[in-house]
Amino acid sequence: MAKDNLQTVKIGNIVVSIDRIKCLSCAACTAIAPKTFEMDDELISTVKSKGPYDDERTIKDAASGCPDEAITVTKAEQGAD
Ligand code: SF4
């Protein structure tokens, strides 16, 4: 099944997006935040389907460590649950 180019997942107070087109398959994010990111069967980073996830700081570190800025982290809207 084809996957959307943008995966967006709400984790606690943040929203994590991965641009699958930008991902270089370097696996850096999975090394920094292994409870949150994994490489899928196409060797593209993806947010795991289930937590417990890494803490917010670790996820942001993984986003800033991405060499192609494929991961964005934004604050979740209040009451968006
Ligand atoms: S760090 Fe960025 S480029 Fe590397 S696997 Fe993760 S999302 Fe892809």
pTM of the prediction?
Answer: 0.92
Q: Find the 66 Cα to ligand 1 centroid distance in Å.
A: 5
pLDDT at site 60: 98
Query: Does the C-beta of 18 come closer than 6 Å to ligand 1?
Result: yes
Query: Does the C-beta of 29 come closer than 6 Å to ligand 1?
Result: yes
What digits encode the pLDDT tens for the residues 23-73?
999 999 999 999 999 999 999 999 999 999 999 999 999 999 999 999 999
Domains, in order of start, for the chain: 6-75 (3.30.70.20)
Query: Does the C-beta of 47 come closer than 6 Å to ligand 1?
Result: no
Three-class HEC string of the chain = CCCCCEEEEEECCEEEEEECCCCCCCCHHHHHCCCCEEECCCCCEEECCCCCCCCHHHHHHHHHHCCCCCEEEEECCCCCC
Q: Is residue 37 within 8 Å of 26, Cβ to Cβ?
A: no
pLDDT at site 77: 84
Q: Is 75 a residue whose pLDDT tops 60?
A: yes
